Structure formats: C-alpha cells, structure tokens
Structure 1
Amino acid sequence: MKKEIKLFIIFILIVIIGIMAWFKAVKPKEEYSNIGGDSVKEETLDYEANIGKMPVLLELSSPTCGPCRKMTPLIKEVKEEYKDKVDTHIVDLTKNPEFGDKYKVSVVPTQVFLDKEGKVFFRHEGMLTKEEIIDIINKMGVK
C-alpha cells in the first residue's frame, strides 16, 4: 500500500511539473506592436492630430487573439498602400482598455473607420479581408 501511495505521489509531481513547463513554454507574445513596431500607448497614438485631414482606421485587438494576429499583415498592407490617405493604427486593448470603452468593443478584432471629422463612419466586429477594408475606405471617399 505504501509503495502505491509513493508511486501515485511521484506521478502527480511529474504531471504538475509537466503542466508548469508547458505553461512556461506557451506564453503569448510579450509585445504586440503597432504598424511602426512600437507598442501602442494612448499618448503615442496621435490619430486625433489627423482629424480634419484624413480618415482614420483603428484595428482594436489583443495579442492573444488568433484572428487579430491574422489581421495584422492585412492592416500593414493597407497602411503602406494608403499611407498618405488613411491614418491607420493597431491598438492593443490589453494595454489601452480605454479604447475598448470608447468604441464599445465586445469582441476582437474590431475595426473602427473614422471619417475626416472624426465621426464613426463604419464599425465592424470580426475579421475583414483586405478587399473589404479597401472597399470601406473607398466608400469614405478615398481613392
């Protein structure tokens, strides 16, 4: 009986150590960056400076969200193609929760398209294709 208890305790310890090692190895990426490569903080997210000049696209997301990570390259492409026409930002809601409150985000990714005056032109929850993003931008009057 004592031998069975010892084996059981050893087995439990091995399982606990294995679980701890797995959790340590499977961490989400420490840094979720904006298009420029730096972590987005509200004080550096100066999209309001472009209100009146150009529309704004905000990709509201989280580093642990798979669809958000899939959207990142699409947003980067749109940023590059429309760099002088649309002010584009990826906002990490884990570091900037006030954006989630401001734009009433219940699901990530959420895209918020602001017109030149800073008013919400279009809001979408979930993934969009690059073509869908460009179509919305075109409907905002950007060519």
Structure 2
Amino acid sequence: MALEIKDSNFEEKVLNSDKPVLVDFWAAWCGPCRMLAPIIDELSNDYEGKAIIGKVDVDENQEFAAKYGVRNIPTVLVFKNGELVKRQVGVAQKETYVEILDSNL
C-alpha cells in the first residue's frame, strides 16, 4: 500500500527523503483517481526499498497541493532530493510511472 502523506508530514516524508518520492494527489470522489489507485499500489510494492510511493488526499490536505499548483487530479509529482523533478497530470499507463521512477533512482 502507498504511504499516506499529509500536510503535517509532507516535509519529513517527501522533501527530506533520501530516496525518490512519487506522490499521487487524489480525492475519493474522483473517478480517474480510482482508476490510478491500483497502479500506485503496484508501484508501492515494486519499488519497496528503492523509492517512496505516497498519496495525498487533496480534500483533507490542501497546503502542498496549492504550493505545487495541483489544479487537476489525479496529478502525480516526483521529487528527488527535495526538488520537484516531474509532473504527470491525469491517468497514465504504469510504464510511464516506471520510466519516471527508474530515471530518478
């Protein structure tokens, strides 16, 4: 399962991580977000120990969604060494996320 990331632990879990971090900004009412959820969970298993895969519920945690300009969901952001390195808006194939993660390992 993907790590639940909140505004309160975003800096610790994402910005201060020594591993690449993929963050899925989503909401429970969002149909495309529900389509992406199984892919995010698969990535969480596939990259265990190599990268952090997390999810931010934008209805409950708006601070970092606003800070990084997340206006449409799902939006996946990838961070490396605390810096935003990639943005993917909308649902993509699993291979897209694999390529992004592999290029940042």
Does TM-score exceed 0.5, indicating one fold?
yes
Runs of 5+ unmatched residues, structure 1: 1-33
- Normalised by the size of structure 1, how large is the TM-score? 0.66
Aligned to 2:91: 127
Given candidates 6, 13, 27, the residue that maps to 1:47 is: 13
Residue identity (%): 30
Cα root mean square deviation, aligned: 1.8
Work out whether residues 50 and 87 of structure 1, in 8 Å CA contact, stay in contact via their aligned partners in 2.
no
Q: Does 1 or 2 have the higher relative contact order (CA < 8 Å, sep 6+)?
A: 2
Give the 4+ runs in structure 1 shifted more than 3 A: none
- Output aligned runs, 1:1-143, within 5 Å: 35=2, 40-45=5-10, 46-48=12-14, 50-51=16-17, 53-115=18-80, 117-140=81-104, 142=105
Residue-pair matches, total: 104
Larger Rg: 1
User: 1:54 and 1:87 mapped to 2: Cα distance?
Assistant: 7
User: 1:109 and 1:90 mapped to 2: Cα distance?
Assistant: 10
Instruction: Report the structure, 1 or 2, having the larger helix content.
Output: 1
The offset of 1:35, in angstroms, is 2.7
User: 2:50 and 2:16 mapped to 1: Cα distance?
Assistant: 10
- Normalised by the size of structure 2, how large is the TM-score? 0.88
User: 1:73 and 1:107 mapped to 2: Cα distance?
Assistant: 19
